[in-house]
Chain A
Amino acid sequence: MSFLDTLKRSWNGLLGTRHIKGSRRGTANYSYLNARVRGMKSYLFPKETYPRLMNMEIDQIARFIQESAYKEDVDQLAQTYEGADLIEHALNRNLAESFTKLINISEDEPKYLITEYLRKFDVWNIKTILRGKQMNASPGEIKENLVSAGEYTYTFLSGLAEKESVEEVVEAFSDSSYYSILKKFDGTNLSDVENMLDKMYYDQLYYAVSETKTKEFKLFLQFVQTEIDVRNLITLFRTKKENLPEDEILDMMIDNGLVFDMDDIRKLVPLSFEEFIDELKKYSIWDKISDVVDPDMKSLISVETSLKKYALTYARKFAHANPLSIATIMYYILTKNNEVNNLRIVVRGKSAGLPDETIRNQLVI
């Protein structure tokens, strides 16, 4: 490690960021990484777990989770939290630990790709803190939703959650690329800032990856583009249902999708909900959602669940077709994230007293 690297690492430590960026070049040991990731994946809950969880009380779920891969997280947090809060904190901690582990055990090319992808959690955390501050949530409530799987450490982020004002939070990011967007926040335009942060994340990710034309980068790019498609479609369904004005919808759209590029989206945006659904029939993705989409549908939950399932199935097929590549790792990241989301839905749904049917519809299995 050169003197400059050491200096950079200490500087990053001072700023509350991890030194995690891998190099684009170099030989990557995919066989080692894939074996470890498959090992980590074997600890995930099988599909059959969710119906069992549905029949349990919160405390039973906590005990069940404590006996699984989440043991260490539940043990460590059991003194501070209890019930649904304990599970939520343990899940987030475990998610952050698992993804940080991925970064630590990888090197060069996969490390670069994983790091770029996990910046998603930086954006998520910034949005969580801003939203929390805007709604006057307590630091404890904000910390509950922080997932320090990206570049920023938990200590840095929880320090921000403790800050008094939004301005102080925004100032803390003055050295980052997010600052140009965050400084536009005036207390009233939170949703615009959130949209801009999301778009910036996907733009940066796309350009960071699309410049290099190796096999792994191309595979990774297809994952990202599929994710963009799914996000755009979910936004389109929601906004079309609510009849939002065209320019507002276009502002939320993310460029560089795989099936839907910006021209397709511009074609879809001016249509009414019924016409939009008719137009969707021309695309390959229609097969995946045709059985749950209906022009008179009241709730979009089933469509959103189907689309998320589509993203997972796509990732699974890709991982099977491309063993010993970044595809297996991306599939793990998606399934792990999905598992935590599912568990969170069960726990939060149960603690809010929602009917089992409502919770079951939200699960992506």
Chain B
Amino acid sequence: MVEPSIWTNPEGWKAIGAALAVGISAIATALAQREIGSAAVGAMIENEALFGKGLILTVIPEAIVIFGLVVALIIVG
């Protein structure tokens, strides 16, 4: 019996697609959070009252990776 090739197995391609969807969107989130997070920390040092606003703004880019995760689950599911 001939072993199925990894290039022709649709399950393999699906897994790679899901990984890319989560991975790339996670990198995008990280880049956005790096900038926002450091700015939020900077603003907080000068004015402690900005903690709440800084925290909310810092987590906003999480949406990007969540979309990536949803797409990945759709692909795999």
Contacts and interface: CB of A to CB of B under 8 A. Distances in A.
Contacts of A40: 46
A35 B42 CA distance: 5
Contacts of A33: 42
A288 interface: no
Nearest to B42: A35
A39 B46 contact: yes
Classify the interface of chain A: helix, strand, loop or mixed.
Answer: helix
B38 A39 contact: no
Nearest to B34: A31
A38 interface: yes
A218 interface: no
A35 B54 CA distance: 11
Interface in A28-66: 29, 31-36, 38-40, 42
A36 B46 CA distance: 6
Contacts of B41: 32, 35
A33 B38 CA distance: 9
A31 B36 contact: yes
B39 A39 contact: no
A36 B35 contact: no
A36 B43 CA distance: 5
B36 A39 contact: no
B37 to A, nearest CB: 9
A33 B41 CA distance: 10
B23 to A, nearest CB: 23
Interface string B13-28: 0000000000000000
B8 interface: no
A32 B42 contact: yes
Contact of B40 (A29, A35, A38, A42): A35
A31 B38 contact: yes
B29 to A, nearest CB: 16
Contact of A31 (B42, B45, B47): B42
B44 to A, nearest CB: 9
Given A32-B41, A32-B42, A34-B42, A39 B35 contact: no
Contacts of A38: 43, 46
A33 B46 CA distance: 11
Contacts of B47: 39, 42
Nearest to A33: B42
Interface in B25-72: 35-36, 38-43, 45-47
A109 to B, nearest CB: 15
Nearest to B46: A39
Contacts of B45: 36, 39
Nearest to B50: A39
Interface in A300-347: none
B65 to A, nearest CB: 20
B36 to A, nearest CB: 7
B60 to A, nearest CB: 14
B39 A31 contact: yes
Contacts of A39: 42-43, 45-47
B55 to A, nearest CB: 14
Contacts of A36: 42-43, 45-46
B52 to A, nearest CB: 15
A29 B40 CA distance: 12
Given A31-B39, A32-B39, A40-B46, 18 more contacts: A29-B38, A31-B36, A32-B38, A32-B41, A32-B42, A33-B42, A34-B42, A35-B39, A35-B40, A35-B46, A36-B43, A36-B46, A38-B43, A38-B46, A39-B43, A39-B45, A42-B46, A42-B47
Interface of A: 29, 31-36, 38-40, 42
Interface of B: 35-36, 38-43, 45-47
27 contacts: A29-B38, A31-B35, A31-B36, A31-B38, A31-B39, A31-B42, A32-B38, A33-B42, A34-B39, A34-B42, A35-B38, A35-B39, A35-B40, A35-B43, A35-B46, A36-B42, A36-B43, A36-B45, A38-B43, A38-B46, A39-B42, A39-B43, A39-B45, A39-B46, A40-B46, A42-B46, A42-B47
